A and B are shown apart, each in its own frame.
Chain A
Amino acid sequence: MNSTLGYGFAVLGLSASILGALGGTYALATKRLHLLRPVRQWAWLVLVAGIGAFVVMEVALFQRDYTVDYVQRVGSSATPPLYNFAALWSALEGSIILWVLLLAGYISAMLIKFRDRSDDPLFGWALVVMLAISAFFFGLMTGPANPFVPALVPVGFEGPGPNPLLQNHILVAFHPPMLYMGYVGFSVPFSFATAALITGRVGEGWLIETRRWTVAAWGFLTIGIVLGAWWSYEVLGWGGYWAWDPVENASLLPWLTGTAYLHSVMVQERRGMLRVWNLSLLCATFSLTILGTFLTRSGVIDSVHAFADGAVGPWLLVFFGVVAGGSIGLIAWRGDELRSPGAIDSPLSREASFLANNLIFGALAFVILLGTVFPLLAEAWNDTRLTIGRPYFDSLGRPIAFVMLFLMASAPVLPWRKASTELLSQRLYWPAVAAVMAMFVAVMLGARGFYPVLTFGLGGFAAGAALRQVILASRRQGWRGLVGRTNGGMIVHIGVVLIAVGVASSEAYKTDRSATLLPGQSVTVENHEFTYLELRADQNDRRQRIYAEILIDGEDVYTPAQTRYLQSGMVVPTPSVRPGFTEDLFLVLDTTPENPEGPIRLRIIVRPMISWLWTGGALMGIGSILAIFPGKRRRGTEAVSAVLVGAASG
Chain B
Amino acid sequence: MSTKKPFEQRTLSWVILGVFALSLLAVASFSSSGPLEGDDRIQYLSTIYACPQCQGQSVAESNAAVSATIREFISVKVNAGASDEEIRDELIRSYGSKVLLTPPAEGISLVVWILPVIVAVGGAAMVVSILRRRDEGLRPATEADAELVSQALEQVPASKEQP
Contact = CB atoms under 8 A, between A and B. Distances in A.
Mostly, the A contact residues are helix
Contacts of B136: 343
Given A347-B131, A387-B98, A639-B162, A450 B56 contact: no
Interface in A593-650: 639-640, 644-645, 648
Given A355-B130, A450-B25, A640 B101 contact: no
B28 A449 contact: yes
Contacts of A439: 21, 24-25, 28
A413 to B, nearest CB: 12
A363 interface: yes
Interface stretch (A66-74, A221-229, A323-331, A429-437): A429-437
A343 B134 contact: yes
A246 to B, nearest CB: 6
Given A363-B116, A387-B99, A389-B102, A432 B17 contact: yes
A245 interface: yes
Given A381-B108, A448-B28, A387 B56 contact: yes
Contact of B116 (A237, A343, A359, A367): A367
B70 interface: no
Given A238-B62, A436-B20, A639-B162, A387 B4 contact: no
Interface string A227-266: 0000000001111100111100000000000000000000
Contact of A392 (B43, B98, B102, B108): B102
A303 interface: yes
A432 B55 contact: no
Interface stretch (A131-139, A172-180, A212-220, A370-378): A370-378
Contacts of A304: 54-55, 57
A30 interface: no
Query: Which of B10, B24, B99, B115 gathers most chain A CB within 10 Å?
Result: B24
B159 A639 contact: yes
Given A366-B119, A386-B98, A390-B47, A344 B25 contact: no
B28 A443 contact: yes
A389 B32 contact: no
Given A244-B56, A246-B56, A429-B13, A450 B29 contact: yes
A392 B25 contact: no
A440 interface: yes
Contacts of A366: 116, 119
A360 B76 CA distance: 43
A436 B18 CA distance: 8
Interface in A387-425: 387-392, 395-396, 422, 425
Interface string A458-485: 0000000000000010000000000000
A343 B17 CA distance: 35
Mostly, the B contact residues are helix
A374 B112 contact: yes
A173 B58 CA distance: 28
Contact of B55 (A301, A362, A457): A301
Contact of B21 (A239, A352, A457): A457
B70 to A, nearest CB: 13
Contact of A344 (B13, B31, B134, B162): B134
A517 interface: no
A32 interface: no
B93 interface: no
Contacts, number: 179
A387 B61 contact: no
A263 to B, nearest CB: 14
A345 B134 CA distance: 6
Given A390-B47, A426-B4, A439-B25, A433 B123 contact: no
A356 interface: yes
Interface residues of A, number: 75
B101 A238 contact: no
B56 A389 contact: yes
Contacts of A303: 54-56
A529 interface: no
Given A644-B162, A645-B155, A370 B29 contact: no
B161 to A, nearest CB: 10
A363 B102 contact: no
A640 B4 CA distance: 39
Contact of A429 (B10, B28, B99, B124): B10
Contact of B101 (A352, A389, A436): A389
Contacts of A388: 56, 101-103, 112
A640 B102 CA distance: 53
Nearest to B119: A366
A236 B119 CA distance: 35
Contacts of A573: 63
Contacts of B119: 363, 366
Query: Which of B17, B25, B31, B63 gathers most chain A CB within 10 Å?
Result: B63
16 contacts: A243-B56, A343-B136, A344-B130, A355-B127, A387-B101, A388-B56, A389-B56, A392-B103, A425-B14, A432-B14, A436-B20, A442-B28, A448-B31, A449-B32, A514-B71, A644-B158
Q: Which 4 A-B pairs have the closest CB atoms?
A: A389-B101, A453-B28, A450-B29, A448-B32
Interface of A: 236-240, 243-246, 301-304, 343-347, 352, 355-356, 359, 362-363, 366-367, 370-371, 374, 378, 381-382, 384-392, 395-396, 422, 425-426, 429-430, 432-433, 435-436, 439-440, 442-443, 447-450, 452-454, 457, 472, 512-514, 573, 590, 639-640, 644-645, 648
Given A436-B17, A573-B63, 12 more contacts: A303-B55, A344-B133, A370-B115, A385-B98, A386-B97, A392-B112, A425-B14, A439-B25, A449-B28, A453-B29, A457-B21, A472-B1
